[in-house]
Amino acid sequence: MKNIMVFFFLGFGILSHSCAQQKETYKPGEWLKFRVHYGFINGGFASIEVQNSFEKNQKLHHVIGKGWSTGLLNWVFPVEDQYESYIQPKSGFPVRAVRKVKEGKYTKNVELFFEKDSVITIDHKRKRRNSEAAKNVHDMIAAFYYLRNNIKKTLKNKEHIKINMFFDGKEFPFKLVKLKEEIIQTKFGKIKCIKFRPLVQKGRVFKAKESVTIWVSADQNKIPVRIQADLAIGALRADIDKYKGLSHPLEMVID
């Protein structure tokens, strides 16, 4: 279960991007839940929800992502992760982000503040503060909602898109490619999806380049329906399990 939320939100962040005027793809009150599997084993769940928030007289979207282990894996390697992002509704860029991780004996408690030309990282566990030059970057959760809300209808198969993200104290480009459209069978019925694959750097989280695939609903909601990946710790798959508060009815394919 290690890196469950890294997996989810790097996966969530691979939607397409353009500078088009924002549409109401999501709204406060939206809540999504995913069931996570390691092969045939139910490893746990992940959820993400949007709330309204006010900070310093500024209206923000407060997005909370959680990941937790269940069953046998919870005894072997308990996971309780929480990621938060405070996002400006108009621009889609974050002003603050939180990452609290409990994975076995490993813990992390980091807070990010997004300034005009830099990102300040406060490590509460180690009592450290660091500032890195970075402009127009997103944390993983903010990237997910920003890109959902700016989907480009004219994106062609095999076309590449980039977005700049900030993770673990560093800025990095996130490059992805649209593969094709597919119909995915879910517990709710068949859903027409757009299939994407990011080009990720081989390393600590991912087993190899191009190891993650995500299917996003092709309707106006653009919600993740399925995510799968080959990780350094094994194969992982997540499927939409529950949802509520969508801006639009989730469209099903009728045979």
pLDDT-derived band at 233, boundaries 50, 70, 90: low
Exposed e or buried b per residue across 70-86, where buried means at least 16 C-beta atoms within 10 angstroms of its C-beta: beebeeebbbbbbbbbb
The C-alpha angle 194, 196, 200, rounded to 5 degrees, equals 170
Q: Which residue has the higher pLDDT, 24 or 202?
A: 24
pLDDT-derived band at 203, boundaries 50, 70, 90: low
pLDDT-derived band at 16, boundaries 50, 70, 90: very low
Q: Domain residue spans in the chain?
A: 4-244
Q: Which phi and psi angles does 16 have, rounded to 5°?
A: -80, 160
Each residue's pLDDT tens digit, 31-87: 999 998 877 778 899 999 999 999 878 999 999 999 998 987 788 888 899 999 999
How far apart, in Å, do the first and last CA atoms of the chain sit?
A: 37
In this structure, the number of other CB atoms found within 10 A of the CB of residue 201 comes to: 11
Is the model's pLDDT at 247 over the cut of 70?
yes
* pLDDT score for 14: 44
pLDDT-derived band at 12, boundaries 50, 70, 90: low
pTM equals 0.87
pLDDT-derived band at 173, boundaries 50, 70, 90: confident
Each residue's pLDDT tens digit, 105-116: 999 999 999 999
* pLDDT score for 49: 95
Each residue's pLDDT tens digit, 87-105: 999 888 999 999 999 988 9
Alpha-carbon span 131 to 27, nearest angstrom: 32
The Cα-based distances of 158 to 11, 27, 91, 151 in angstroms read 17, 30, 28, 16
In this structure, the number of other CB atoms found within 10 A of the CB of residue 22 comes to: 13
CATH class of 4-244: mainly beta
- CA–centroid distance for 186 within its chain: 20
Residue of 125, 126, 53, 153 whose CA lies nearest to 94: 53
